């Protein structure tokens, strides 16, 4: 699985990068993007980022 951040919805708050820095980072436009796959080790942190996104810009895809 891999998280996907909708760049049109993302407001660049950075909550996801705090919740799971090994998967999310802010790009040059100040928007979050997923840089790694979801693994068993980081799944809870990814779900925290998805659930905590204030604009619902993050989802998980296969």
Residue 55: both structure tokens together = 């604009």
Instruction: Please answer whether residues 32 and 21 qualify as being in contact, where contact means their C-beta atoms are separated by less than 8 angstroms.
Output: no
User: What is the pLDDT at residue 62?
Assistant: 84
In tens digits, what is the pLDDT along the chain, a chain of 62 residues?
A: 999 999 999 999 999 999 999 999 999 999 999 999 999 999 999 999 999 999 999 999 98
Fold of the CATH domain 2-61: Alpha-Beta Plaits (3.30.70)
> CA Rg, the chain, in Å?
10
* This prediction's pTM: 0.93
The 3 state secondary structure assigned to 8-49 is CCCCCCCHHHHHCCCCEEECCCCCEEECCECCCCCHHHHHHH
Spatial neighbors of 51 by CB under 8 A, at least 6 apart, are none
Q: Which residue ranges make up each domain of the chain?
A: 2-61
Residue 25: both structure tokens together = 């980072």
């Amino acid at each position: 699985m891999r998280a996907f951040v909708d760049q049109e919805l993302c407001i660049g708050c950075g909550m996801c990068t705090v919740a799971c820095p090994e998967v999310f980072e802010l790009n040059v436009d100040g928007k979050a993007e997923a840089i790694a796959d979801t693994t068993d080790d980081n799944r809870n942190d990814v779900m925290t980022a998805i659930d905590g996104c204030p604009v619902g810009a993050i989802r998980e895809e296969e």
